[in-house]
Amino acid sequence: MVDAVEGAAYTIPTETPEGDGTLTWRSTTLVLVRVRSGDTTGLGWTYGAAATARVVEQQLAGVVTGRSAWDVPALNEAMSRAVRNAGRPGLVAGALSAVDIALWDLKARLLGLPLVRLLGAARDDVPVYGSGGFTTYDDAQQDRQLRTWVEEQGIPRVKIKIGESWGRAELRDRDRIARARQSIGPRTELYVDANGAYTRKQAVRLDGFLTEQGVTWFEEPVSSDDLTGLAQIRAAVTADVAAGEYGYSLPYFRHLLDAGAVDCPQADATRCGGITVWLRAAALAEAAGMDISGHCAPHVHAHVAAAVPNLRHLEWFHDHVRIERLLFDGVLDPTCGVINPGAAGAPGLGLTFRAELAERHRV
């Protein structure tokens, strides 16, 4: 039985200002959920506004408390129904997702199993790609980050942000892409992410340059809500088009696939409805003959990513990796471009929250 559900928010300053095509930020907030059954506690989290913690405690805790900890899909459905009038997308979906993740972690801990063993492994390791290359970086910062992933950690695929200033700095985008290729050499895969900053025609016009630089992944060239635009761009460019990180419910992924909008959908378990819905999104992709990619929050996704046969990779996002290393013991090692969830045998997600250290960041 679930005895208690708690939410708390922790805001961590960035090392330097970070930015993409549409936003800049100086801190990131992790909203942690702890779900307790007896002496055992499960952990889950999402990234977003600190107010998400209030949604957990005011909208969701009462739905989950007192019910069986074994029946996570039933609890997910109960939460989804309970927030109908609160507005499920966005902040509420993040709260629901964090509780779902904590419930899966709790169940695996109660059974004494790594989560990947509870879910059932489809693979032994999970490929990752280094992700960062913020538009706020100067040339030296970008070069240093890329070389760390490729030369020190042996990660064979990396991604940078483009679309600076809502696409109005295209010349700098092109220069940064070319510099990235110089930093990583000819053999490493190069990805770009515009975070929806370009227009449709602008994204298509960029295709020749991206092909010249060997870019094989073009993420959110336009808004992920513009399914028609994504489909048009996908038909016109060489690189694989990806989107889906702002999918807050399962129907979004069906619409994304039905529109022919992407070559590889991305799903974020901290937004889409937790591990429960992430698995369903992966099944939709598999039925469509596609891989799926895990978006950000790598230590949330590691175990569930290993449980699906059609995984392409998982995003080793600099900002979230830094925070998860700070707040948790038991983090994974991406050397050679793969992580091995469950290999250490620790139950659940395999992490221990560093509560005393985190307290200074609590908001």
The DSSP secondary-structure symbol of 260 reads: T
In angstroms, the CA 179 to CA 189 distance is 14
The percentage of the chain sitting over the pLDDT mark of 70, rounded to a whole number, equals: 100
Q: What is the pLDDT of residue 151?
A: 98
Whole-prediction pTM value? 0.97
CB distance 151 to 183 below 8 Å: no
pLDDT over 90 (residue 139):
yes
The whole-number average pLDDT for the span 143-159 is 98
pLDDT at residue 319, as a whole number: 97
What's the number of CA atoms in the CB half-sphere (13 Å) around residue 57? 12
Measure the CA–CA gap between 292 and 238, rounded to whole angstroms: 19
| Sign of the Cα pseudo-torsion (250, 51, 100, 243, in order) | positive
90-117 mean pLDDT: 98
Please, which residues have CB within 8 angstroms of residue 98's CB and are 6 or more apart in sequence? 7, 31, 32, 33, 44, 45, 46, 52, 56, 270, 274
Determine the pLDDT at residue 180. Answer: 98
Whether residue 276 contacts residue 76, with contact meaning beta carbons closer than 8 Å, is answered with yes
| pLDDT at residue number 345 | 97
Query: Has residue 87 got a pLDDT over 90?
Result: no
Q: Is 140 exposed, middle or buried (0-12, 13-18, 19+ CB in 10 A)?
A: exposed
Q: What is the pLDDT of residues 328-354, one digit of tens each?
A: 999 999 999 999 999 999 999 999 999
Q: What is the pLDDT of residues 3-45, one digit of tens each?
A: 999 999 999 999 999 999 999 999 999 999 999 999 999 999 9
pLDDT at residue 88, as a whole number = 87
Residue 7: predicted pLDDT: 98
Confidence at residue 78, expressed as pLDDT on a 0 to 100 scale: 98
| pLDDT given at position 239 | 98
Average pLDDT for 165-191: 98
Neighbour tally for 114: CB within 10 Å: 24
234-266 residue pLDDT tens = 999 999 999 999 999 999 999 999 999 999 999
Q: Which pLDDT does position 265 carry in this prediction?
A: 98
Host H or E run for residue 132:
strand 126-132
Predicted confidence band of residue 289 (pLDDT cuts 50, 70, 90): very high
Beta carbons of 219 and 238 less than 8 angstroms apart: no
Half-sphere exposure of 250 (CA within 13 A, CB side): 15
Fill in the amino acid letter for 355. A
